[in-house]
Amino acid sequence: MLCPECRKETNHEEKAMKIWKDRYNCAQAVLGAFAEELGLSEEQAMKVALCFSAGARKGEVCGAVSGATMALGLRYGKIGDNEAESKVLAYQKASEFMDRFKSENGTYICREILGCDLSTEEGRTYAQENNCFDEICPNMVKLAVKILESIV
């Protein structure tokens, strides 16, 4: 995809997977892949998305989904003129994203995706022992990036 603001070719999936492999989390990987073209430095994206992995640390909405909805807010949100209209559009895009993610994956809830609750010691142990972070989470990042690319 050609980034219109920066006028260079961007492979969001490659970028997201590089961020992921550098041991950042799912939310950071998705937001970071789109950050620069949305006016955020990669460092800022890593800070903003830090606490959204593992379903915001409570097994709720998947961090990859949270990273994508942050990107949608950056893309469609405006402050000042047209703020109300941009809010409606951003909310519509976020709903579309979440509906598509759920349709393709069955859920966007982290503990349902992983089969464990990362907010508990038992859940973290299960995830480690069953390679969830290597087997499942990268696929959620890729799915989030794919859907996000089609929306933005």
Residues 34-68 pLDDT 10s: 999 999 999 999 999 999 999 999 999 999 999 99
What's the rounded mean pLDDT across residues 120-138?
96
Q: Which residues of 76-96 are buried (b: 16+ CB within 10 A; e: fewer)?
A: beeeeeeeeebeebbeebbee
Long-range interactions of 44-51: CB distance < 8 A, separation 24+: 49/25, 50/25
Quote the Cα angle for 106-10-76, to 5°.
65
pLDDT higher for 2 or 34? 34
pLDDT value at 5 more than 50: no
What's the predicted TM-score (pTM) here? Answer: 0.90
Mean pLDDT of the chain: 92
Residue 79 — very low, low, confident or very high, per pLDDT cuts 50/70/90?
Answer: confident
Cα dihedral: 7, 91, 105, 144 (round 10) = 20
